[in-house]
Amino acid sequence: MKFADLGLDESILKALTATGYTEPTPIQEQSIPILLKGTDLLGWSQTGTGKTAAFAIPIIQQILDNQREGEKRRIKSLVVTPTRELALQIGESFTTYSKFTDLRNTVIFGGVKQGKQVDRIKRGIDVLVATPGRLLDLMGQGHISLRDVEYFVLDEADHMLDMGFIHDIRKLLVKLPDNRQSLFFSATMPKEIVSLAKNILRDDFERVTIKPKQATAERVEQAVYLVAKKDKPELLKHLIKNEEDIESVLVFSRTKHGADKIVRKLKKVNIQAAAIHGNKSQNARQKALGQFKDGDINVLVATDIAARGIDVSELSHVINYDLPNVSETYVHRIGRTGRASASGVALSFCDIEERPYLKDIQKLINQQLPLIKDHPYVDERDDSEIPLDAPKPKRVGGGRGRGGGGGNRNRNRNRNRNGGGGGGRGRRNNSSGSRD
């Protein structure tokens, strides 16, 4: 199927062509026709599946279809997302797909002064992308009204739950018109999320599921290092300094404090790195992400929540410094590399307490991950619980390059590795509930 087969406006098709997109991804192919019918949607999908376009394109199409000449501009679509980075990425997507229309969108989030955000809202917008806190704040000040919202998107609902935003979401729901179309996306479906979805969606909603194992790209090489917890910093430094094919690496830490600690240890040996997490200011997070994208630093350390919305092309490696205790999160993480036509490597550090997590991950992805024991910090304690008969990885370092010229970006990275610069509507439960 081609985008041209979906009955989209010529202005949208022109924007997609300019971006180089001609064929929809599976979630786009399934979701766009459903949404163009006006049906509510429950989307269960991982990162890297093209989910943003799956809802942005039909929303733009429907706004264009219902435009009336001389109509005052009002907020017709609201997208709520848990993090600033993800909000910015979604805003950029709306801008890209509507570039040949007169639609306006803006993004609001906390951590920065509200003045410019309020000014853009006062000038009139069609699409608002927001994080919950700043949205409720500006609503409370009278700057935002949701009475005209026709299309409501709740994105990354599971991370809303993780961050304690469910109470805020319930407060928003009572301000939304009942006759809206609702879109609900989550990568995991715990009981709390299923319950929330039933309160938001109409009874005739349709479900689109992109299974987790589909998101573990074949181009992503995966391997596990058995290592004692105390030796993880040394193993990380060893790999970054000695594996020549590590051009850019996103390191996942389970905690904010842990992320900062990793960066400090790397900087002590002249490895240029930065951390992004919820305690960092918006400016600091954007600066770190910009340095990473530009190749000024090779290593970005992030928590799972802060990493949502990070869109970095040519990411050669993901390293799970801490194995996640939720198996689906592993799939999210490794989906950051090996995107499009690129190849990538996902390496996981597993201490003895994390071995049950490893078993759960392997069960979820239906795959035994190769164990790497040829390194200076191998943990020789009992590994009988971990399958050892998986094939050895084709390449986890030692080779130079990964097929394709380095270009200026990779030269920057190599130069900086060792120092250098720098239910139904009628039964919707609108009670506030309690903060998780």
Give the Å distances, CA to CA, from 377 to 225, 236, 325, 381.
9, 10, 23, 12
pLDDT at position 216 over 90: no
Confidence of residue 398 (pLDDT cuts 50, 70, 90): very low
Kindly report the number of other CB atoms within 10 A of residue 30's CB atom.
19
Measuring CA to CA, which residue among 220, 190, 189, 183 is closest to residue 27?
183
Cα–Cα distance list, 50 to 90, 109, 188, 203, 300 (Å): 11, 23, 17, 26, 23
Helix ranges (H only) for 98-231 are 115-123, 132-140, 157-162, 166-173, 191-200, 212-215
Summarize pLDDT for 48-93 with one digit per residue, the tens. 678 899 999 999 999 999 988 878 899 999 999 988 878 988 999 9
Query: What is the number of other CB atoms lying within 10 angstroms of the CB of residue 392?
Result: 11
Cβ atoms of 182 and 200 within 8 Å: the answer is: yes
Q: Is 39 exposed, middle or buried (0-12, 13-18, 19+ CB in 10 A)?
A: middle
Q: What sections of 180-338 are H helices per DSSP?
A: 191-200, 212-215, 232-242, 256-268, 282-294, 304-307, 327-334
Residue 63: per-residue pLDDT: 97
Residues facing residue 154 across a β-bridge: 80, 184
User: Alpha-carbon distance 367 to 396, whole Å?
Assistant: 18
Contacts of 272 (CB under 8 A, 6+ apart): 266, 296, 297, 298, 299, 416, 417, 419, 420, 421, 422
Tens digits of residue pLDDT in 249-259: 999 998 889 99
Q: Is the pLDDT of residue 13 over 90?
A: yes
Q: What is the pLDDT of residue 279?
A: 80
For 272, list phi and psi in degrees, rounded to 5. -75, 120
Q: 385 is written with which tokens?
A: 């619980």
Architecture of domain 3-210: 3-Layer(aba) Sandwich (3.40)
CB-based contact 223:191 (threshold 8 Å)? no
What are the start and end residues of each CATH 3.40.50.300 domain in the chain? 3-210, 216-416
The answer to whether 80 touches 155, Cβ cutoff 8 Å, is yes
Rounded to whole angstroms, the Cα distance separating 203 from 196 reads 13
Alpha carbon of 368 to those of 10, 215, 321, 329, 347: distances in Å? 47, 16, 19, 17, 14
Q: Check: CB of residue 63 under 8 Å from CB of residue 229.
A: no
Q: Name the 3-class secondary structure at 239.
A: helix
* pLDDT at residue 133 in the model: 93
- Indicate the class that CATH gives domain 216-416: alpha beta
* Contacts of 151 by beta carbon, 8 Å cutoff, 6+ apart: 59, 62, 63, 76, 77, 78, 180, 181, 183
Residue 416 confidence (pLDDT) above 80: no
Task: Give CA–CA dist 197/293, Å, rounded.
Answer: 35
**Rounded to 10 degrees, what is the CA torsion of 161, 366, 248, 91?**
-40
> Of residues 333 and 409, which shows the higher confidence score?
333
Please enumerate in sequence order all residues whose Cβ is within 8 A of that of 357, keeping only pairs 6 or more positions apart, or say none. Answer: 323, 324, 325, 327, 350
Query: Mean per-residue pLDDT for 252-281?
Result: 91
State pLDDT tens for residues 221-233.
Answer: 999 999 999 999 9
| pTM: predicted TM-score of the whole model, two decimal places | 0.61
Q: CA–CA separation, 203 vs 317, rounded Å?
A: 43
> Tens of pLDDT along 162-183?
778 888 999 999 999 999 999 9
Q: How many CB atoms lie within 10 A of CB 434?
A: 9
pLDDT of residue 99: 94
Residue, of 278 and 33, whose pLDDT is higher? 33
Q: Is the pLDDT of residue 391 over 50?
A: no
Cβ proximity of 257 and 301 under 8 Å: no
Q: Tell me: the pLDDT tens digits for 86-138? A: 898 899 999 999 999 999 999 999 988 999 999 999 999 999 999 999 999 99
Question: How far is the C-alpha of 386 from the C-alpha of 290, rounded, in Å?
Answer: 39
pLDDT tens digits for range 291-349: 998 889 999 999 887 776 676 767 889 999 999 887 778 887 888 776 554 578 999 99
Between β-strands 127-130 and 105-108, what pairing exists: parallel, antiparallel or unpaired?
Answer: parallel
